[in-house]
Homo-oligomer: A and B are copies of this chain.
Amino acid sequence: MAVTDLAGLYRAYIDCLNRQDWADLERFVSDDASHNGRKFGLSGYRAMLENDFRQIPDLRFTIELLVVEAPHVASRLAFDCTPIGEFLGLPVHGKNIRFAENVIYRFHNARITEAWSVIDKAAIEAQL
């Protein structure tokens, strides 16, 4: 898959998340997907995302940086949102926060099969 295709596919994946179009998620995430080494599968991956939106109703994924070298995509995602309760164990409770997530994905057969994500928890702590 060419670099431009993988970039376009990734942008479509992020759009799917922002639409919370969970029926469409299987177009982008493999049945055996893992996240930070946990073998979530598609159903566990979807459950994680659904839980994120329950915790953060105004969650929106914005791509700030995109680096593509097949089969990998690296992305810096920017968030400006309002977790309603605790988030990452921090007492956010309805405060608006901004933070980044740096994440690297491995694609296989045009689907995410591994994701390695780090959220900038220190940045959130500094805002509380």
What residues of chain A have their CB less than 8 Å away from a CB belonging to chain B? 3, 65, 67-69, 72-74, 76, 88-89, 100-104, 116-122
17 example contacts (A-B, Cβ-Cβ < 8 A) are as follows: A3-B69, A65-B72, A65-B104, A65-B116, A67-B67, A67-B73, A67-B104, A68-B69, A69-B69, A72-B74, A74-B104, A76-B104, A89-B122, A100-B118, A102-B104, A102-B117, A118-B119
- Assembled-state Cα–Cα distance A103/B116 (Å): 12
- Assembled-state Cα–Cα distance A120/B120 (Å): 8
Report chain B residues within 8 Å CB of A104.
65, 67, 74, 76, 102
Report chain B residues within 8 Å CB of A116.
65, 76, 100, 102
Assembly of this chain: how many copies? 2
Report chain B residues within 8 Å CB of A67.
67-69, 72-74, 104
The 7 A-B pairs at the shortest CB distance, nearest first, are namely A74-B74, A102-B102, A118-B118, A67-B74, A67-B72, A102-B118, A118-B120
Most interface-central of A3, A68, A121 (chain B CB within 10 A): A121
Report chain B residues within 8 Å CB of A103.
102
Report chain B residues within 8 Å CB of A122.
88-89, 119, 121
